[in-house]
Amino acid sequence: MEYSNIFNYYRGQIKKDNGVNIGTKQIENNVKKALINVLEHSNDLLTLNFIRTFIDCNNNGHTFNYLYEVGRKLKETTPRALVIGIAETMDLIDTKSEYNNNTRPDGAILTDSISILIETKTGTDQLYAPQLEGHKKTFAKGQIVDDQPVLILWKEIKEFFNIQFEYFKSTNDVKTSFLLDQFEQFCNDNSVGFPSKSKEYFFSLFKTQKARNLAKEINEYIYNKSHFKDEVEDYHDRYKAGIRTDCIGYISSKGYYKFASMTKARNVCFALQLGKRHHTERAKEMQKELDALLKHKYEDTDHERATHGEAYIRLEWVDNLEQIKPFIDEAYHLRLIR
């Protein structure tokens, strides 16, 4: 991802990141940190308005302390305490099973009158009721905590910040306006606060700039340069009302199923979907051919069982589009066989 925003965090790959999707991890961690940073470094009125809007309209606190990744038990009790959860959807996962006792809230806002612990989820990840309940153990001993968490959509956070941006811009608060503008841009670049994720979001998940450029080139080839370009449709436009959450799906106007996708699954890869009914064996052969061509064994990087009828490509291993064009073309035609 090219530098364009103060909330983007950059570092090289380190040993413990091997096999982990760094792009996804950076986006998720950046969003969590960016929210706290905006509140902490803006005019205190922004945090006060945040609390009044989402939690307690009568709150009049003026001194705020902020924590990021709360790893210790809080020391002070306050008249009110609660946990808030922020996610793209409010499909709260509720289960009677115990969550890890070592739950760590993503952040905290503390005043003399209220203690707030924050849990955030991005993308398709959902809030998990036992995790929110487990966060209550972080409050100080003797603290009385609201029974139910406050649940907020990222869309609502963005709408709130947009209103605040107009106010602080009108009062010539340059710093607060700048931070709010950068947060809005960061969210837009990473499809935070949208039910549907942009193609750019999925391109950005690949681990290297070369792979990200190749992902765009593949998309351009499929839609505008392939011999079947006039028959290609967006899978999510056809079946999901344009809501794209976990992948970019490519489908033929002559067929019913995806023949390829750029997916967050399997640590981010380009998947060729030939169809398990007729082409399971060909998919296995194709995977071997790809492994030999790219001089890497795909299964060494993915411990999940391959889906029947699919072959996978790590774009980081591909030198140029010409190497994989024949496989894309073949997947398209095989998928049409019923």
Q: pLDDT grade, residue 73 (50/70/90)? A: very high
pLDDT in tens, 129-148: 999 999 999 999 999 999 99
pLDDT on residue 269: 96
Give the 3-state DSSP-derived string for 84-133, with helices as H, strands as E and coil as C. Answer: EEEECCCCCECCCCCCCCCCCCCEEEECCCEEEEEEECCCCCCCEHHHHH
Measured distance CA(273)–CA(248) in Å, rounded: 13
pLDDT on residue 137: 95
pLDDT in tens, 189-248: 777 887 667 788 788 888 888 999 999 999 999 999 999 999 999 999 999 888 887 899
pLDDT on residue 65: 96
Q: Are 182 and 8 in contact (CB under 8 A)?
A: no
pLDDT in tens, 274-294: 999 999 999 999 999 999 999
Lay out the sheet containing 107-110: strands in order across.
Answer: 65-68, 107-110, 114-120, 80-87, 150-153
pTM over 0.75: no
* The residue to which tokens 């006792």 are assigned: 101
Token pair listed for 207: 């681990």
* The residue to which tokens 């609660």 are assigned: 82
Q: Is the pLDDT of residue 16 over 50?
A: no
Q: Which residues contact 219 (CB under 8 A, 6 or more apart)?
A: 199, 203, 248, 262
